[in-house]
Amino acid sequence: MGMKMLIPVLCLAAIAQAIPTRGDYFWAAKAGEVTQEMGRYARLALEHSHDPAVLSHARKIEAESRADFQRLARLAETREMPMATGPTGAQEQEYRAMALLQGARFDRAYWKKQQESATALHLCRNQALARSHDAALSQALNGLEIEAAGR
């Protein structure tokens, strides 16, 4: 291929890489879903738990998840990116089952759920950062406050 042909091809390749695709946003949308779910379980813990460590963690997660989800939702709106509108049927069923637990059983389930969610959120963020070419998306994801459950 001659030099005259190579330059336009390289320019098109650079432009194609710079334009975010819907695939760039999959992991960010998933991070929004997990963030929303973490906040939902934190609010449940504030209603059900009497353990000071759980309550302290839940207050922190509830505030962080609300701020993180709002940041991701603003990004989604500017990028016309789909975001989760609520829990799936399976997520709702799991939530209801946990809401029936009491005392130490609830607290153990809360710590386990928050640890699973924090791990999923780390994965989502890392995958999006590795794949996306969108600086605003990277900035929003880098700013996520991810607190792993301490138990």
CATH at residue 86: 1.20.1260
- For the chain, the straight-line distance linking the first and the last C-alpha, in angstroms and rounded, comes to 60
Q: Is residue 83 part of a domain?
A: yes
Q: Is residue 7 part of a domain?
A: no
Q: Is residue 105 part of a domain?
A: yes
pLDDT of 99 > 80? The answer is yes
Q: Which of 149, 150, 143, 148 is nearest to 125 (CA)?
A: 143
Q: Is residue 44 part of a domain?
A: yes
Q: Which pLDDT value is given to residue 113?
A: 95
Token pair, residue 80, equals: 């016309």
83, amino acid identity: M
Q: Is residue 115 part of a domain?
A: yes
Mean pLDDT (the chain, rounded): 80
pLDDT of 147 > 90? The answer is no
Angle at 131 between CA 149 and CA 17, to 5 degrees: 160
Could you tell me the pLDDT band of residue 146, with boundaries at 50, 70 and 90?
A: low
Q: What is the mean pLDDT of residues 60-79?
A: 86
30, amino acid identity: K
Q: Burial letters for 21-41: b for 16+ Cβ neighbours within 10 Å, e otherwise? A: eeebbbbbbbbbbbbbbbbbb
Q: What is the mean pLDDT of residues 86-95?
A: 90
8 against 30, higher pLDDT: 30
Q: Which domain holds residue 134?
A: 22-142
Could you tell me the pLDDT band of residue 144, with boundaries at 50, 70 and 90?
A: confident
Residue 83 has a CB neighbour count (10 Å cut-off) of: 18
Under a CB-based contact definition with an 8 Å cutoff, are residues 69 and 35 in contact? yes
Q: Which pLDDT value is given to residue 13?
A: 42
Q: Is residue 8 part of a domain?
A: no
Q: Is residue 85 part of a domain?
A: yes
Residue 50, helix vs strand vs coil: coil
Q: Is residue 13 part of a domain?
A: no
Indicate the number of domains in the chain. 1
Q: What is the mean pLDDT of residues 94-118?
A: 95
